[in-house]
Chains A and B, each alone.
Chain A
Amino acid sequence: MAWFLARRLAHAAALLMAVSAGTFALAELAPGDYFAELRTDPRVDAAAVETLRARYGLDRPPLARYGAWMAAAVRGDLGVSIAYNMPVTELLRPRLGRTLELAGVSWVLSWMAALGLAMAAAMRPGGWVDRGTAWLVSALLVVPELLLAALLVLVAARTGVPRLGGFSLAVAALAPGAAPVLLRHARAALREAAGAPFVEAARARGIGGGRLWAVYIFPAAANPMVSLFGLSFAGLLSGTLVVEAVTGWPGVGPLFLEAIASRDFYVIAAVGLVAAALLAAGNLAADLMLYALDPRIRRPR
């Protein structure tokens, strides 16, 4: 167990480093910085701009900046937002809470819908639930969640349903965006498990009906689905970026887009780091769950 955990943790740390370095590099490569426009303004003294840049460390070479920023990040200091003139952590904390709430609720709802429908579809392949969900999945897969969100906002505005706040609109755009892929995977996993030789063997022992599904098929199918838990959460998080902006939910999304537009350097880097941390945590949780579920991982012979 300790060995397994150590390996997974090392894996998570490596992922975190790679993604944060990547985000930092991308932010670095983007032309100009927060003060780029100021510099072209004839009324502003060039020396004053340089002083400002130095104040935020923007004059230092990128590698040194990354090193200093990571060293501070380890201590929980993610730098300062130039636009808001406040610590990034303070700026991010309430918004991250709201984004996690949105992604979390959408995640739970999409999994519940996907699992329920996949169960019903897989128990009667070719039946009306199966055909209906297959059609729905194909239809939903071609609609980007951004479009869905925009449509929902439009409909809500037109019909004047004021109670339907940004949150429910955002969930209504996110969950149907995430559920189809989950449903497709869950159905495939269930059908594969249902066709496994040990299920035929169980049938030959006279085990059937609900018990066969609950004790044999579902647990066997859960295994491939667990790896999707973390991934689907990461997918939802990236979906929140645009959906929040469209529906006006004050999460990380609007802040991030704003930061990119204005090159608010440390905000961009911090969001990248937090996203990587969430992804790593999701993967770690999935690994631990697999460990708990599968004796072949827990006890290699």
Chain B
Amino acid sequence: MADAGSLAAVRELRVEYPNGKSAVDGVTFTMRRGEVAGLLGESGCGKTTLALALAGLLPREARVSGGVEFEGQAIGGRSEAELRALRGSGIGFLFQEPLGAFHPLLNLRRQIIEAVRGRVERGGERAAAEVALEAVGLSAREFGRAWPHQLSGGQLQRAQLAQVMAARPKLVLADEPTAALDAGAEKELLDLLIGAGRGAGILLISHEPELLRRWAGRVMVMYAGRLVESGAAARVLDEPRHPYTAALLACGRPAAEGGRLAEIPGRAPEGRERPVGCAFAPRCPRRMAVCGEREPPAVEGGVEVSCWLDVA
């Protein structure tokens, strides 16, 4: 990675779970310092798996091939101790489930202190934890000694953000952090994430196009373990070129009659049953003969589309 602006790079990444499921199936992209990139896709398309691979957090049983690099160094080649040092201060991870991310028996301040230990000046852990709490609008006096079960989902996600940011990560992997929140709490959290994360690269994962239109500079669309389209958020979401992106966007808008949400007919391939050719072809309204025969050329993170329509 000669590019000085490159923060993390994923090359031809494949992740297969022991049940034979290829959750990530040949993904290549680069994250630049300070950028907010969105990862868009339906449930089960492999978004979380991709994020876990980036942080070196995949379960031991998962089979990984291809490369993940952070600041020019492969994640795969690192020892457990090196990975530990990298997590937190290199790569922060914001989880989807508010309550699941916190130990039920430890108060919030303590959990932030544990996360910054060894990452801030010795003896300054407590102060760092309190500053981090205040920065997300949680008074350290009131919430520092609170236990997770006493907070609302929105407050918990802000506390989690405080915990992640207190370690000053260079890359934040935000895995649908607002999926459990209402619109108000969602805006509050993402304002804080994008604001507080200034300088850090953010990979914002979501299944909602509108969320990414608002917050992400660039969007990558994922389907069945692959990127099918990527580019500037405005371009991808306003003029989708891949039929899957178009269908996904159509789902978000009320259909013409009755105000019902449209659905993409059919479902994504599951398990080992990957179709020959383009994975979306069986559901695609604009499929051609070639779609069922050969795979379209792969997307590489830039402004690209992986679709035979586009090749023609």
Which A positions have Cβ atoms within 8 angstroms of B? 197-198, 200-209, 211, 215-216, 219-220, 223, 293-296, 299, 301
Contacts and interface: CB of A to CB of B under 8 A. Distances in A.
B232 interface: no
A205 B102 contact: no
Given A201-B95, A293-B105, A206 B100 contact: no
Determine chain A's interface SS by DSSP, over half rule: helix
Contacts of A201: 93, 95, 100-102
Interface of B: 55, 57, 80, 84-89, 92-93, 95, 97, 100-107, 114-115, 117-119, 147, 149-150, 163-164, 167
A193 B152 CA distance: 23
Contact of B105 (A206, A220, A301): A220
A126 to B, nearest CB: 11
Contacts of B86: 206
B85 A220 contact: no
A299 B150 contact: yes
B115 A296 contact: no
A208 B55 CA distance: 14
Nearest to A193: B103
A198 B98 CA distance: 10
A200 B104 contact: no
Given A203-B57, A215-B114, A295-B147, A208 B84 contact: yes
A166 to B, nearest CB: 43
29 contacts: A197-B100, A198-B103, A198-B104, A201-B102, A202-B103, A202-B115, A203-B57, A204-B55, A204-B87, A204-B92, A204-B93, A205-B93, A205-B114, A205-B163, A206-B87, A206-B115, A206-B118, A207-B114, A207-B115, A207-B117, A208-B84, A209-B84, A211-B117, A215-B106, A220-B104, A296-B104, A296-B149, A299-B147, A301-B149
B70 to A, nearest CB: 13
| Pairs of residues from A and B, 7 with the lowest C-beta to C-beta distance, nearest first | A206-B88, A197-B100, A206-B87, A204-B93, A205-B115, A295-B147, A201-B101
Contacts of B106: 215, 219
Contacts of A198: 100-104
Contacts of A205: 87-88, 92-93, 114-115, 163-164, 167
Contacts of A216: 103
Contacts of A219: 103, 105-106
